[in-house]
Chain A
Amino acid sequence: DQQVKQNSPSLSVQEGRISILNCDYTNSMFDYFLWYKKYPAEGPTFLISISSIKDKNEDGRFTVFLNKSAKHLSLHIVPSQPGDSAVYFCAARSSGNTPLVFGKGTRLSVIA
């Protein structure tokens, strides 16, 4: 039973445009959400996070939106750059010492 779902395995976007990556979750106990970026042959690197008390968090070109009623979050990258081409993982966990649960990832390709 997949608790964190990324329904788009891949996404292609033109350089300079907005990239929107989506993530849905089923566990209403999740209260902390993160996005990770992964290049081939490297470990995932932390990108941005949001707690359930917020609905938006922004860091430079990256913004994460959280819609708790829909159990949906999204990552916006504006403007997209070729170096953003990578696999993006959405992750979530509930409070306390619980492990992160990851989605299957979305491969973003930014075309110059």
Chain B
Amino acid sequence: DVKVTQSSRYLVKRTGEKVFLECVQDMDHENMFWYRQDPGLGLRLIYFSYDVKMKEKGDIPEGYSVSREKKERFSLILESASTNQTSMYLCASYGYNSPLHFGNGTRLTVT
């Protein structure tokens, strides 16, 4: 069974802080993604990666960066957290011939 693990379920950070959201998958998937979910807006793609050290911007990359140093790990970085980045953040991965599998999400509150 595919497991996508996000390091924190809930986080509270202050405006201006640098925030790291970590995600690890155990199925040797090449493709990893970061989405955010907001009420009425659905799931919006922030960044994705098809391989180690590769990254691509999604639909809303502003204010975010990512790091993929190892195949199983994909980190989302908020360079300087702002209140409009308060959201549910979802990491996901898929491999060949498999659907996208999501982690349980990190609820981030920026005050």
Contacts and interface: CB of A to CB of B under 8 A. Distances in A.
Co-assembled chains A and B: yes
Given A41-B105, A99-B58, A104 B42 contact: yes
Interface stretch (B60-68, B69-77, B95-103): B95-103
Interface in B12-36: 31, 33, 35
Contacts, number: 48
Given A97-B50, A102-B42, A43 B100 contact: no
A104 B102 CA distance: 17
Contact of A43 (B48, B58, B102): B102
Contacts of B103: 43
A36 B41 CA distance: 16
Interface residues of A, number: 21
Nearest to B56: A99
A97 B92 CA distance: 14
A43 B90 CA distance: 7
B48 A99 contact: yes
Contacts of A103: 42
A97 B32 CA distance: 11
A42 B105 contact: yes
A34 B100 contact: yes
Interface of A: 6, 9, 34, 36, 41-46, 49, 89, 91, 97, 99-105
Interface of B: 4, 9, 31, 33, 35, 40-45, 48, 50, 58, 90, 92, 99-105, 107
